[in-house]
A and B are shown apart, each in its own frame.
Chain A
Amino acid sequence: MSLPRQIREVSRALIEVATEKGVVAEVILNLKQVNSALLTSPDIAVSLQDQSVPLIERQEALQTALKDAVHIFVKNALLELQRLQLLNHLSSFTEAATSYAKSLTDYQDAVIYSAVKLEEEEKKRIKKILNKKFGGEVGFEERLEPGILGGLIIEAGDWRFDSSLKEQINQLKQHISA
């Protein structure tokens, strides 16, 4: 199914301006976070697009909800989607933006699994390493996964890095079994 033209245009414009400022990864991450939040509470998206409420009030409500949690570019893009009555297409918008980021820049999507919440310093170190590794900006999403027991698992496209305690236990198990 083809995306509405406005979604393609807004997502492309967002990625282009984010590329100029070097904040593609942050923008993509913010979009994913907002999308995840709206998927968890679909009523919010419905309320934000309720045409019985004047647009200015709905936009104020959206700005209040976002506060400073997201980059200004993301906030503006979401307000534009709200104006176009396309907030319910936020998943498609996020996917389109990610796709543009990959095609227009060296952006790489990654997911990091950890047993405990990562500290900011740890995230910076990981981001620096991944940026160097992929030769471009890497945006990553952090997911808590106590099942890995400890350490990290990072997935980016077909590439996978597994330094989890669970994997090490599995390797030990295989080593003993062999």
Chain B
Amino acid sequence: MIAETTNIVGEATQAAASGGALGSLGINLKLFIAQLVNFGIVVLVLWKWVFTPLTQAMQKRTEEIEIGLEKSLQANKKLEEAVTEKEKALKSARAETHAMIDEAEKSADLVRQDKLNQTKKEIEKVTEEARTKLNTERQNTLQALQHDVAEMVSLAVSRVAVGLDEKTQRNLVDKAIKELEQA
């Protein structure tokens, strides 16, 4: 390596010594061309087997990432949709549940009210029956008492009437004749 460098420096010195503008700048034209060719080859090789595959790989990777991102976005969107749907379903279910509960409560209220009304009616009926029975018994007792009193009065008056004197009998006939006149 040191030898090559020494050669290159020697050649550059010779070139400079040989003259020309490039020579005065210390540039060996041949060497320069050779280096350009080498550089071109390197560039070509790099372009062909490094840069292009790398670019393609990067492009592919970018596309994959983009697809992945797209899928991810879609997945997110679907997830959001699913969440929305779920919330919607939950809301609907909740509303239905509330409606069912309300309906059940109303039904329960109706049943309870019916039971209450029925119980009230039964109580009223029993009370009314008891009242009627009591009234009937009281009425029967009263009637029996009245009947007994009437019988006693009738018997007493009849017994007294059997022994009426002549004057009283004549008065009764006279009273009857007066009533006949008014009849």
**Chain A residues near B174 (CB, 8 Å)?**
122
- Find out whether the CB atom of A115 lies under 8 angstroms from the CB atom of B169: yes
Q: Is A103 an interface residue (CB 8 A)?
A: no
**Nearest-CB residue, chain B, relative to A119:** B170
- Find out whether the CB atom of B173 lies under 8 angstroms from the CB atom of A151: yes
Q: Is B179 an interface residue (CB 8 A)?
A: yes
Choose the segment among A36-44, A68-76, A166-174 that binds chain B (4+ C-beta atoms closer than 8 Å). Answer: A166-174
- Give the CA-CA distance A81 to B53 in the complex, in Å: 175
Evaluate whether A172 and B166 lie within 8 angstroms (CB atoms) in the complex, with A129-B181, A163-B180 already known: no
Q: A139-151 CB contact bits vs B (8 Å, 1 = yes)?
A: 0000000000111
- Find out whether the CB atom of A169 lies under 8 angstroms from the CB atom of B154: yes
Interface size on A, residues (CB 8 A): 29
Q: Is A177 an interface residue (CB 8 A)?
A: yes
Which of B169, B176, B177 neighbours the largest number of chain A CB atoms within 10 Å of its CB? B176
- Name the contact of B177 in the complex, choosing from A129, A165, A169, A173 (C-beta under 8 A): A129
**Chain A residues near B147 (CB, 8 Å)?**
177
Evaluate whether A150 and B153 lie within 8 angstroms (CB atoms) in the complex, with A122-B177, A126-B180, A163-B180 already known: no
Q: Is B123 an interface residue (CB 8 A)?
A: no
Q: How far is the CB of B159 from chain A (nearest CB, A)?
A: 10
**Chain A residues near B161 (CB, 8 Å)?**
149-150, 165-166, 169
Q: How far is the CB of B96 from chain A (nearest CB, A)?
A: 72
- Give the CA-CA distance A122 to B178 in the complex, in Å: 11
Q: Is B172 an interface residue (CB 8 A)?
A: yes
- Name the contact of A176 in the complex, choosing from B150, B162, B170, B175 (C-beta under 8 A): B150
**Chain B residues near A161 (CB, 8 Å)?**
179-180, 183
- Give the CA-CA distance A122 to B181 in the complex, in Å: 12
Q: Is A46 an interface residue (CB 8 A)?
A: no
**Chain A residues near B175 (CB, 8 Å)?**
151, 163
Which of A151, A161, A164, A166 neighbours the largest number of chain B CB atoms within 10 Å of its CB? A151
Interface residues on B, range: 20 to 34
**Chain B residues near A172 (CB, 8 Å)?**
150, 153-154, 157
Q: Is B164 an interface residue (CB 8 A)?
A: yes
- Find out whether the CB atom of A176 lies under 8 angstroms from the CB atom of B149: yes
**Chain B residues near A176 (CB, 8 Å)?**
146, 149-150, 153
Evaluate whether A150 and B146 lie within 8 angstroms (CB atoms) in the complex, with A169-B154, A169-B157, A173-B153 already known: no
Q: Is B63 an interface residue (CB 8 A)?
A: no
Evaluate whether A177 and B164 lie within 8 angstroms (CB atoms) in the complex, with A114-B173, A172-B157 already known: no
- Give the CA-CA distance A39 to B2 in the complex, in Å: 200
- Find out whether the CB atom of B173 lies under 8 angstroms from the CB atom of A149: no
Q: List 20 A-B contacts (CB under 8 A).
A: A114-B173, A116-B166, A122-B173, A122-B174, A122-B177, A149-B158, A149-B164, A150-B168, A150-B173, A152-B176, A152-B177, A152-B180, A154-B180, A161-B180, A163-B176, A163-B179, A166-B161, A169-B161, A172-B154, A172-B157
Interface, chain A (partner B; CB < 8 A):
114-116, 118-119, 122, 125-126, 129-130, 133, 149-152, 154, 161, 163-166, 169-170, 172-174, 176-178
Instruction: Please give 12 more A-B residue pairs, beta carbons under 8 A apart, in addition to A149-B161, A151-B176.
Output: A122-B177, A125-B177, A130-B180, A150-B169, A151-B175, A161-B179, A163-B180, A165-B172, A172-B154, A173-B150, A173-B151, A176-B149
